[in-house]
Amino acid sequence: MLFSFITYLEHEKRASPHTVLAYQKDLEQFQEFITISFGLTDMVEAGHAEIRAWMIDLIEQKLTPTSVNRKMATLRSFYKFLLRSGEIVKDPTYKLRSLKKGRSLPEFIQEDAIDKVLSEMNFTPDFSGQRDRIVMEFLYLTGVRLSELLSIRWKDINLYSDEVTVLGKRKKYRIIPLTKSLKTNIIFYKKVFEETFSNIEESDYFIVRNSKEQAYPMMIYRIVREHLDLFVQTTKRSPHLLRHTFATHLLNKGADLNAVKDLLGHSSLAATQVYTHNSIEKLKAVFEQAHPKA
């Protein structure tokens, strides 16, 4: 049934490869646990007690509530699939409760630090250097997700209207404006791209390896870490950190919350509101420093 579920995720739910792989790993871990602990060879046989036991085992392994809840969400999706398929008559995750988790504020890079990254880093004029520049600028100046950046093709870049069309979660498209500086650097990157690989086809990916093959997630992580290490002191140096920074800086400058929500591709305002807490913390610091009665 695992194969059928994975096929369902890929073709009916149209989940991303990253999501499919995460679900598959979670289910394989659960299967291994119930086999070793209870002698069960099929997840169809597992009930609430076995699932609860796995949750406790994960907690004892010191996994964060977020990680445990994600694995439980995988089981919920899997057993709902089995229920609809007629493989089981009762959902064993029905009474399962998520762990409570403290809400942590998303980390972001201070404006002066990100300015140093983009202005003082020595990006070489060859293809690799200009591609790396575009990766860094595009993530920060558009706020796109890693998966969205990897899926962008040249046909999605409109240099006449200064915008890019992005395919986000739930297969929804959104349009994000390009800043003048980003447009200028894209034009130069395009020139270097053509010199390196000859003519650009509309179907060509925007960010590629030196072999012109589509870039992959760990490559983008490497580029981001390499260029943040010298200037940024945060514990996380990931592509998503630049997305957090994009949203936080916009809100710090007074951008409308709904507009930021649309730019980020969030389905609800609640997902965007977490970034306002950084702005509020900044206001509190100013208040406590400046107000005579603070």
177 located within any domain: yes
End position of a domain, from candidates 67, 85, 103: 85
236 located within any domain: yes
274 located within any domain: yes
The total number of structural domains in the chain stands at 2
Token representation of residue 143: 């706020």
Q: Among all chains, which residue has been given the structure tokens 């998303």?
A: 106
pTM value is 0.64
Q: Which residues of the chain have pLDDT under 50?
A: 294
**208: three-class secondary structure by DSSP:** strand
71 and 185 housed in the same domain: no
134 and 198 housed in the same domain: yes
Distance CA 15, CA 17 (A): 7
Question: Which residues are CB-contacts of 201 (< 8 A; sequence separation ≥ 6)?
Answer: 154
Q: Residue 224 belongs to a domain with what CATH number?
A: 1.10.443.10
Distance CA 244, CA 237 (A): 11
**C-beta separation of 155 from 202 below 8 A:** yes
Q: What is the pLDDT at residue 154?
A: 97
Q: What is the pLDDT at residue 115?
A: 86
Q: Which long-range contacts (CB under 8 A, 24 or more apart) does 89-92 make?
A: 92/46, 92/47, 92/48, 92/50, 92/51
Q: Using CA atoms in the order 137, 234, 128, 166, what is the torsion angle rounded to 10 degrees?
A: -40
93 located within any domain: no
Nearest to 284 by CA among 275, 292, 294, 293: 294
293 located within any domain: no
**163: three-class secondary structure by DSSP:** strand
128 and 68 housed in the same domain: no
The amino acid at 184:
T
169 and 216 housed in the same domain: yes
8 located within any domain: yes
Q: What is the pLDDT at residue 294?
A: 46
Give the DSSP H/E element, type plus range, for residue 34: helix 17-38
**CA distances (Å), origin 81, targets 6, 33, 95, 97, 192:** 11, 21, 17, 19, 48
**C-beta separation of 141 from 263 below 8 A:** no
Condensed to tens digits (0 to 9), the pLDDT of residues 110-140 reads: 888 888 888 888 889 999 999 999 999 999 9
Residues with active-site annotation: 145, 169, 240, 243, 266, 275
Q: What is the pLDDT at residue 100?
A: 75
The amino acid at 64:
T
131 and 40 housed in the same domain: no
Q: What is the pLDDT at residue 165?
A: 96
Q: What is the pLDDT at residue 287?
A: 54
160 located within any domain: yes
Instruction: Tell me how many degrees the CA angle 207-209-214 measures, rounded to the nearest 5.
Output: 60
71 and 198 housed in the same domain: no
Instruction: Looking at 198-236, list the stretches that DSSP marks H as alpha helix, in order from N- to C-terminal side.
Output: 217-228
147 and 265 housed in the same domain: yes
Q: What is the pLDDT at residue 143?
A: 94
242 and 134 housed in the same domain: yes
User: Structural domain of residue 34, as residue ranges?
Assistant: 2-85
188 and 58 housed in the same domain: no
116 and 215 housed in the same domain: yes
Q: What is the pLDDT at residue 283?
A: 52
162 and 58 housed in the same domain: no
Q: What is the pLDDT at residue 152?
A: 97
